[in-house]
Amino acid sequence: MSHPYVVCDVFTDKALEGNQLGVFTDARAIPDEQMQRLAREMNFSETTFVLPAEADGTARIRIFTPATELPFAGHPTLGTAVVLAEARGLDLVRLETQSGIVPVTIDRRNGAPTFGRMEQPLPSVAPYELADELLAALRVNRSELPVEVYDNGVRHAYVMLASPEAVASLRPETGALEQLGNVGANAFAGFGTRYKTRMFGTGMGVTEDPATGSAAGPLALHLVRHGRVPWGTEIEISQGVEIGRPSRLFARAVGSPDRLERVEVGGSAVIVARGEFLL
């Protein structure tokens, strides 16, 4: 059977940068077990499989890393939305994920669907129970803000360093990060509305991620909760430079200390390849 797919680079407007994503545009004939094997074959940080909608969404998607399935992830959701917007002529794509429906508004810049903004699932927040182990694995002494873990379908823990240069120079202990299990280790630094991040997801099968949409929204929330950025302010995030995949993400948390209303993450995506698996 032929299984068509698209490759797009997400959180960039330049081909061969950003975060790679494989999108199988019609996964109805692909068995569950084969989805995981195909994601391993693609060997991107995530691969998505598009299925018919079951609720009132545009489509249902399943998201796989090379090692496991995820209920939600940011760059796969945004990239898949751009692919479907191009194929179906849509300006709003509502994707059914295991964490609920994620709406993605499409901006047709220069006539093509190249920029999307998604409203992410609202995350839970808690102190990170392995904060000391995380600091040791990153080989840093302290965090400028409390080390907390956010869960919007993917668990991300955050460590703030003193400067972007300190983030760039990190050389973490991969084995120690893997022992933390299924959590993204996010190191970040910045000032005002511009921040630099690196995300190490060794326990999720991703050594270092070029652009992490599921971590960008909680990062904006982390900053507003601790008074570094006003509520509703959009931040710009740089990621992926150290692994040769520079990326740019935009995020904001809207609400107040008493009530979080929504978390938004936006960015560009470009389609760079099309093909098919013959299985």
Token pair 């680079």 in the structure block, residue: 9
Q: Are residues 217 and 229 in the same domain?
A: yes
Question: What is the residue whose two structure tokens read 């998505």?
Answer: 48
Burial class (CB in 10 A: 0-12, 13-18, 19+), 275: exposed
pLDDT category of residue 108 using cuts at 50, 70 and 90:
confident
Residue 227 sits in a domain of what CATH number?
Answer: 3.10.310.10
- pLDDT at position 202: 87
**Which pLDDT score is estimated for 272?**
97
Handedness of CA 240, 241, 247, 249 (dihedral sign): positive
pLDDT at 174: 93
Please state, in angstroms and rounded to a whole number, the distance separating the CA atoms of residues 179 and 176: 5
Q: How confident is the model at residue 113, as a pLDDT?
A: 74
Considering the domain architecture, whether residues 101 and 164 belong to the same structural domain is answered as: no
Q: How many domains, in total, are found in the chain?
A: 2
Same domain, 247 and 273: no
Statement to judge: residues 59 and 162 lie in one domain = no
Q: Is 161 exposed, middle or buried (0-12, 13-18, 19+ CB in 10 A)?
A: buried
62 by DSSP, 3-state: which?
A: strand
pLDDT of residue 183: 96
42 pLDDT above the threshold of 90: yes
Would you say residue 33 has pLDDT above 80? yes
**Which residues have CB under 8 Å from 32's CB, separation 6+?**
none
Nearest to 19 by CA among 151, 166, 206: 206
Given a cut of 90, whether residue 221 has pLDDT beyond it is yes
Per-residue pLDDT tens digits for 133-146: 999 999 999 999 99
Q: pLDDT at position 114, please? A: 86
When pLDDT is cut at 50, 70 and 90, the band that residue 167 belongs to is: very high
167 and 115: one domain?
no
**What is the tens place of the pLDDT at every residue in 176-203?**
999 999 999 999 999 999 999 999 998 8
Asked if 251 and 148 sit in the same domain, the reply is yes
Report the chain's mean pLDDT, rounded to a whole number. Answer: 96
Measure the CA dihedral 23/265/10/17, to 10°.
-160
State the catalytic residues. Answer: 46
pLDDT, mean of residues 208-219: 97
Does 51 share its domain with 135?
A: no
Between 103 and 204, whose confidence is greater?
103
In this predicted structure, the answer to whether residue 57 has a pLDDT above a threshold of 80 is: yes
Asked if residue 191 and residue 180 are part of one domain, the reply reads yes
Q: Note whether 25 and 147 are same-domain residues.
A: no
Q: What would the mean pLDDT of 233-261 be, rounded to a whole number?
A: 98
The confidence band for 204, taking pLDDT boundaries of 50, 70 and 90, is confident
Distance CA 166, CA 279 (A): 46
Checking if the pLDDT of 222 tops 80, the result is yes
CA–CA distance, 69 with 74 (Å, rounded to integer): 14
Instruction: Determine the pLDDT at residue 203.
Output: 83
Section 54-71 average pLDDT: 95
Which residues have C-beta within 8 Å of that of residue 228, sequence separation ≥ 6? 145
Cα torsion through 229, 187, 151, 61, rounded to 10: 100
The boundaries of the domain holding residue 16 are 2-122+267-278
Q: From CA 67, how far away is CA 45, in angstroms rounded?
A: 9
Mean pLDDT of 19-44: 97
Residue 112 confidence (pLDDT): 74
pTM attached to this predicted model: 0.95
